[in-house]
Amino acid sequence: MKFCPACGNQVNLAIPPGDNRERFVCAQCGEIHYQNPRNIVGTVPVWDRKVLLCRRAINPRYGFWTLPAGFMELDETTTQAAARETLEEAGARVEIQELFSLLNVPRARQVHIFYRARLLDVDFAAGEESLEVKLFDEASVPWSELAFASVEQTLRFFFADSASGNFGLHTGDVVHSLHAD
């Protein structure tokens, strides 16, 4: 940020009174512009113990496989975001179930949140941001071609819980990356 979104004048980094970290503060109107992490929200869409994955048609990680997920938008809830992203990226209608994973990705300034979801039918189809969408059982998942570490962790949790029959909530931090950016 270089300019004030409120008045268009220059912003500087400064610690506001009563605060303890640097913020972008407008030199003209004094407005403080906070920046905060963003939520990526998606689903683990399941049909007959198989999971629906999307091959990415966009960067980053073009051509790699991911769970349907994307940035949570203003004026929606996490479950609405999860269902919307699943419809947009995989053309899939789901019933949202329990919160399944919440993984911090501080390096990307994001929190990744996945819900388990039941596919309502198998009439899915690649959306604009996907090259193809396909159901995978554990053995057939393209483990070496997954787009993001949070997706890999969530899938490993899912198949482990699926094998045990007990689905839990999985929380943690993703500190490594699957790609060399």
Q: How far is the CB of 43 from a copy of itself (least distance, A)?
A: 14
Q: How far is the CB of 172 from a copy of itself (least distance, A)?
A: 9
Query: CB-wise, 37 or 63, nearer to a copy of itself?
Result: 37
Residue 152 backbone zone (phi > 0: left; psi -120 to 50: alpha; other: beta):
alpha
Give the span between the Cα atoms of 168 and 178, in whole angstroms: 25
List CB contacts of 63: < 8 A, sequence separation 6 or more: 55, 56, 131, 145
Query: CB-wise, 55 or 141, nearer to a copy of itself?
Result: 55
Query: CB-wise, 131 or 135, nearer to a copy of itself?
Result: 131
Query: CB-wise, 108 or 135, nearer to a copy of itself?
Result: 108
Give the span between the Cα atoms of 165 and 50, in whole angstroms: 14
Q: How far is the CB of 82 from a copy of itself (least distance, A)?
A: 11
Q: Which two tokens stand for residue 169?
A: 């909530």
Q: State how far Cα 19 lies from the chain centre.
A: 30
Instruction: Annotate 115-145 with b (16+ C-beta within 10 A) or e (fewer).
Output: bbbebeeeebebbebbeebbbbebeebeeee
Query: CB-wise, 77 or 140, nearer to a copy of itself?
Result: 77
Q: Which residues bind a copy of itself (CB under 8 A)?
A: 1-11, 18, 21, 33-39, 71-79, 98-99, 102, 104, 106, 109, 111, 128, 169, 171, 173
Q: How far is the CB of 60 from a copy of itself (least distance, A)?
A: 16
Q: How far is the CB of 142 from a copy of itself (least distance, A)?
A: 26
Give the span between the Cα atoms of 70 and 81, in whole angstroms: 8
